[in-house]
Amino acid sequence: MIVIIIVIVILAWIVLIYNGFVQLTNRANEAWSDIDVQLKRRFDLIPNLVNTVKAYAKHEKTVFEDVTEARTKAMGAQSVHDKDVADGAVKDSIGKILAIAENYPVLMASDNFKKLQDELTDTEDTIAEARKYYNGTVRNLNIKIHSFPDMMIAGVAGFKSREFFEADEEERGVMDVKV
C-alpha cells in the first residue's frame, strides 16, 4: 500500500512539473505571437508612411527603397535573432523617413502624417511591452528548465531553453542628441 502511495505521489509530482512546462511554453508562444502581431501592425503602417512622405520628398528614392527592403526582410524573419536584427533595420529606416519629413513643414503639419506618427509611436510602445512580457516568460521557462529537480523532467520531455528578444548593437549604443 505504501509503495502504491509513493508511486502515485511521484506520478502526481511529474504531472505537475510537466504541466508547469506546458503552461510556460504556451505563455512564451502567446507572447511571441503578440510581438508578431505588433510587428505586422508596424509593417502595415510603413507603406502608408512611405507614401505620405514620398508625396513631399520625391527625390529621396534610396531611403524609400531601404525602407521597403528592411520591411520585406523583417516580414520573412523566423528566429528570435533574425527578427531582432530585422526589427532594428526597420526602426532605422523609419527613423530616416521621419528625419526626411522634418525638412517639409507642410508634411509635418499634415493630419494624415501626424496620425501615422501617433500610430507608429503607439505600436512601438506596444512592441516594447510585448517584448518585455515575452522576455519575462522566457526567463521563467528557462529558470524552470535549468532548476533541479525540474530539469530532469525537462530533459526527458524535450523542453528546451529559448532565446531572449534583445536589443541589437545599434539600439544599445549611445544616442547623440543635439539641442
Q: Which spans in 57-149 are helix H? A: 61-76, 80-101, 105-109, 111-146
Place of cell 526626411: 100
Q: How far apart are CA 146 and CA 162, in angstroms?
A: 12
Q: What is the predicted pLDDT for the residue at 92? A: 80
Backbone angles phi, psi at 36, to 5 degrees: -60, -45
Task: Delineate the domains of the chain, giving CATH numbers in brackets.
Answer: 2-163 (1.20.1440.20)
Contact indicator for 63, 141 with CB cutoff of 8 Å? no
Average pLDDT, 10 consecutive residues per value, the chain (179 residues): 92 93 92 86 79 66 72 77 78 77 71 80 86 91 89 87 72 41
How many CA atoms does the CB half-sphere of 68 hold within 13 Å? 9
Strands (E), the chain: none
Q: What is the predicted pLDDT for the residue at 65? A: 73
Chain centre to alpha carbon of residue 70: 15
